Each structure stands twice: as structure tokens, then as C-alpha cells.
Amino acid sequence: MPRRQHWIIHRPRSVAKAAERQVCLTGVRKFAPRQAEAVDNGTGRQVMERRAELDAIADRYRREPTALLQILRDAQDIEGWLPPATLTYLARLLALPRARVEGVAGFYSFLHLKRPSRYRVLFSDNITDRMAGNQALLEGMCKSLWLERGKTSEDGLVLVDTTSCTGMCDQGPAMLVNGWAIARLTPARIDQVVELIRSVTPVEDWPGELFLIEDNIHRKDLLLDASLEPGEAIRAAITRGLRDDQGAARGPLATLEAIKRSNLRGRGGAGFATGLKWEACRNAPGDMRYVVCNADEGEPGTFKDRVLLTRYADLMFEGMTVCAYVIGARKGFV
């Protein structure tokens, strides 16, 4: 049997927002937190008042520096942004240089070092959305709200800008409003969103039909239509050739050979053989190995990762577990 495994999950608020994020990996160190400092220049709430919340967030991820990005996302939920003193306190909790914490926070567009507008509207900016007319919709929205693209309104109410592909290429034009995905944009929908913003209606109270997302699976075939019972793949991997004549575990090697015979390949442009990739990782020098699932839409017009994450997450985790069993990994990242 494999050693105990666990996954660190980068969980998006919406699947579409996964396009904006990556996993930040750093070394793991343990350390006891020191007293929090006062807030820099009086900005944000006093860290002392939020110390228990920040401690709880860090403890949720075992205070591992490898979970810095997830911790920053959760910490931002406290006030909607990351005040300077919050960064200082988190740096001490994780035993990281403050410059590294601020560097990560400043790199990702979904993390805010300044207090953001109440509504953050981001149009998906890719070739398919542009061909579907998103530029005219963006300009029309800015005109209706009397603001410039990329600049927050004078009252701090709203910002309208663009972001990278949101994984909605099959039903664009699309946009994110405070992380909520809205697809199939039309002039009428834009007018509806503008009125909701003007009335300062909380996004969670907006009509549900605005957030309806279709899978758009027209033909499933074997990969998406397999009638596997939960845990069936893991059980098959473990029981496949349990021991050889010398008493060594045969399950991992036997499963690897089965994967190679199947000619299973990656779904990216290279179509690289899965069995060769797993074999190279298994044979790599060193004791630590990891399974990384890159759940990010990167090619224009694709939306496969969105569907896999929303409809087939159990199979994804089971596949990662089988991979970990084969290559000898003890930890995985999504």
C-alpha cells in the first residue's frame, strides 16, 4: 500500500477564475509567531483585532509556506484586500521574508494591496471573445457607467477592465463580476448588470439566470462516459500484481505498464505519452515526488478543464491518486 497521501487544493471562488491563478511553492519551515505589529500608517483594520482570524487561516493550512497563495486568498476575505500589516503578520506566521509575501500578493490580479472598488468587472480578453464582440460591449458598459476602462470610478463603486481567458470560450463573450462568471453577454445583459451596479445590489442577490453556465458536451465517448464506481481505479491499481516472487510490491509497476500499453496521452498540444511522463518521474533521483494538476485553460477556444473540474472532480482526484501510487508521491497540488 502507498504511504499516506494528501492534496493541497487551490480552490477557486468560481471555476472561471482559475485562469488567473497558479500555485506558489516555497520551502516548508516551522516557527512560533511573534507579537503582531501595529498597522502601517493606520491603513486597514488593526492586525491585533484580526490576529485570531489570521491564525485560524494559517492553521487551516498547517502554517506551510507552500500554501502561501491559498492563505493570502483566505486572508483577503476578511476585509476585501490585504493591508500592509496583514502581510507583515502572515510573513511572521509562515517564517517568510515579508518581501516574498508582498511579492506574491502583488503578482496576482485577484489579490489586492489597495482597497478595491465595490464591483470589479473583468471582461474575458481572448481571441474568441473579441470575435464575438466583447470590445463593443466593454466600451458600452464604460459609457453607461461614466468611467474609463481600467480606472475605478470616483465614488469607488466600480472598475471595468479585462482579464485573461476565463474558460468560457464556448459561451462568450463572458466576464467576471467580483469573481462570479457571467456568460453569453449581450447589450441587454450589459444594461441589466449596469442597473444592478447602480442600485448597489450585492452580487450574490443578482438573478440566478445571469450565472447559468452550460457544459456544452456534445459527445462524451469513453473518457467522459466511463461507468466507473468510486474508488474502482485505485482498487485496481493496488490489487494489480500485489507481490512478485521476491515479495516486492508489483502494483505500481504493473499499473505503469498498463498505462503505457494503453497509449494514454495528455490533452495538451504536445499529446505527450502519460506512461512515459510517469515513468520519468518515478525514476527521477531524490525521495520527494509530487503530483501537480494544472487546472488552467491556456489555449484559445478551450473549456475542457472547466468541465472536468465541475463535473468530474472525483475522477480527477482518483487519477491523481493512482499517479501518486505509481510514481511514489505523497503530496499533490491542484
pLDDT at 42: 42
CA gap 145, 124 in Å, rounded: 19
Do 126 and 171 form a contact (C-beta atoms < 8 A)?
no
Q: With contact defined as beta carbons under 8 Å apart, do 147 and 108 qualify?
A: no
Beta bridge partners, 177, equal 121, 180
Cβ–Cβ under 8 Å, residues 45 and 82: no
CA distance 236 to 325: 12
In this prediction, residues 160-164 reach a mean pLDDT of 90
Which of 314, 268, 269 lies closest to 294, judged by CA? Answer: 268
CB atoms within 10 A of CB 277: 16
Maximal CA-CA distance, the chain: 77
Q: Express each pLDDT in 69-85 by its tens digit.
A: 999 999 999 888 999 98
Q: Are 203 and 119 in contact (CB under 8 A)?
A: yes
* Cβ-contact 167, 213 below 8 angstroms: no
Task: For 55-68, write each residue's pLDDT tens digit.
Answer: 999 999 999 998 99
Angstrom distance (rounded) from CA 204 to CA 95: 36
| Average of per-residue pLDDT across 146-163 | 93
Does the pTM surpass 0.75? The reply is no
Residue 329's closest CA among 298, 283, 289, 278? Answer: 289
pLDDT tens digits, 209-223: 999 988 888 888 877
pLDDT at residue number 75: 95
Mean of the pLDDT values across residues 131-150?
95
Domains and CATH numbers, the chain: 10-107 (no CATH), 119-211 (3.40.30.10), 221-333 (no CATH)
Q: What is the pLDDT of residue 243?
A: 57
What single string gives the DSSP state of each residue in 15-53? GGGGGG--------------PPPPPGGG-SS-HHHHHHH
pLDDT tens digits along 33-42: 333 344 444 4
pLDDT tens column, 237-283: 888 766 555 555 578 888 999 999 999 888 776 788 999 999 999 99
